Amino acid sequence: MAGEAVIRAEQLTKQYGAKTAVDHIDLDVSPGEIVGILGPNGSGKTTTILMLLGLTEPTSGRAVVAGFDPLRDPLEVKRRVGYLPDQVGFYESLSARDNLTYTGRLAGLSRREIDTRFTEALARVGLSDVERARVGTFSQGMKQRLGLAEVLMKRPTVAILDEPTTALDPHSTQEFLAMIRGLKADGTAVLLSSHHLDQVQSVCDRVALFNQGRIALNGSVTELAGRVLGGGHVIDVEAVGPDMANRIASIPGVVRVQPLGGNRHRIDCQSDLRAEIARRLAPEVELLGIHFAAPSLNEVYNRYFEEALRAAE
């Protein structure tokens, strides 16, 4: 992405006694870029977010967020960063308007700015008709939307979203992902932490995969697939015949064969082997279809940790 990074971590490290939670990570996020941070629980994602927000002090290294050091200038960072945690906290006895008015005052906005931004933000998240309702009457999904409205009101340079779709049904999830894309259109840099890999793949420009406090992989899904799945050439084959998996696996250049059910197999290859696969299979099987498959972040993630587990044994 073009433009100077608005999130920059350089050799960022956090230790708790003898335990290293985050281990010398480097990470840049540019304006208008959506970067997903993934990894199992305890891999360092949440600690990284806390350091970027100035809520915990790095042991070493440094971070710069929206032009400020979160440790030295936490208030300046908070003014420019919208943060949506996995559990949104509002005053449930107050209305949506009163909650966000309070937030606006804390951010130093004038009454006119609060009114204008509140109206715009609630319209974008689809809550205009409940602005006077008590938040205690909201569903969890509505509270998540209100949390995003709070982020939008700040017109942030950076948005950090931590598991924002956990409580949402499938329809609401798709709407929420569209709102995240809207942040990108605004030029906001978005850091998205989520365990929902399909959602991350659908909205993120790039992914940083955490493992044991380090960023093990960093790049687009296609780039990560190239590193993890054997060249990034993933081919789906549909064919009828005996012993198909072994037939395909015996073809030179095939790295892995994954049965998909029925007569379908997904193949990781070192190069584009479609013509060679068709030639090898055609004499003895009924070839129904062969085409490139989009690399799946789920496949990349699962394969990486399978191999990491085997390497550790």
- Asked whether residue 276 is domain-assigned, the answer is yes
Do 241 and 218 lie in one domain? The reply is no
Please say which residue of 172, 200, 224 terminates a domain. 224
- Asked whether residue 300 is domain-assigned, the answer is no
Task: Flag whether pLDDT at 1 surpasses 50.
Answer: no
- Asked whether residue 114 is domain-assigned, the answer is yes
- Asked whether residue 271 is domain-assigned, the answer is yes
Interval 148-171: pLDDT, tens: 999 999 999 999 999 998 878 888
Do 125 and 166 lie in one domain? The reply is yes
Q: How confident is the model at residue 227 (pLDDT cuts 50, 70, 90)?
A: confident
Interval 278-305: pLDDT, tens: 998 887 889 999 988 777 898 889 989 9
**What token pair was written down for 205?**
């420009």
Comparison of pLDDT for 246 and 255, the residue scoring more: 246
* Pairing assessment for the beta strands 81-84 and 158-162 based on DSSP bridges: parallel
pTM of the full structure:
0.82
- Asked whether residue 313 is domain-assigned, the answer is no
Please say which residue of 177, 192, 224 terminates a domain. 224
**Contact present, 263 and 277 (Cβ < 8 Å):** no
- Asked whether residue 301 is domain-assigned, the answer is no
State the CATH number of the domain containing residue 243: 3.30.70.100
Do 162 and 208 lie in one domain? The reply is yes
Give percent of the chain with pLDDT exceeding 70: 98
The predicted pLDDT at position 122 comes to 94
- Asked whether residue 17 is domain-assigned, the answer is yes
Q: How confident is the model at residue 117 (pLDDT cuts 50, 70, 90)?
A: very high
Q: Where are the alpha helices (DSSP H) in the chain?
A: 45-52, 74-80, 96-106, 111-125, 140-153, 170-185, 197-203, 221-228, 244-249, 274-281, 297-312
Q: Among candidates 99, 62, 52, 44, which has minimal Cα distance to 209?
A: 44
Interval 51-74: pLDDT, tens: 999 999 999 999 999 999 999 999
Task: Flag whether pLDDT at 196 surpasses 60.
Answer: yes
Mean of all residue pLDDT scores within the chain? 91
Average pLDDT on 103-129 reads: 92
Do 115 and 30 lie in one domain? The reply is yes
Beta bridge partners of 210: 215
Task: Flag whether pLDDT at 242 surpasses 50.
Answer: yes
State the CATH number of the domain containing residue 186: 3.40.50.300
3-state secondary structure of 267: strand
The predicted pLDDT at position 148 comes to 94
**What token pair was written down for 253?**
């250049």
Query: Kind and range of the H or E element at 83?
Result: strand 81-84
In which domain, by residue range, is 152 found? 7-224
Do 137 and 209 lie in one domain? The reply is yes
What are the backbone angles phi and psi of residue 109, rounded to the nearest 5°? -80, 150
**What token pair was written down for 136?**
């205690």
Do 111 and 64 lie in one domain? The reply is yes
**What token pair was written down for 231?**
């060249």
- Domain count of the chain? 2
Query: Lowest-confidence range among 8-12, 190-194, 307-311?
Result: 307-311
Comparison of pLDDT for 175 and 313, the residue scoring more: 175
Do 215 and 241 lie in one domain? The reply is no
Do 139 and 220 lie in one domain? The reply is yes
The predicted pLDDT at position 3 comes to 60
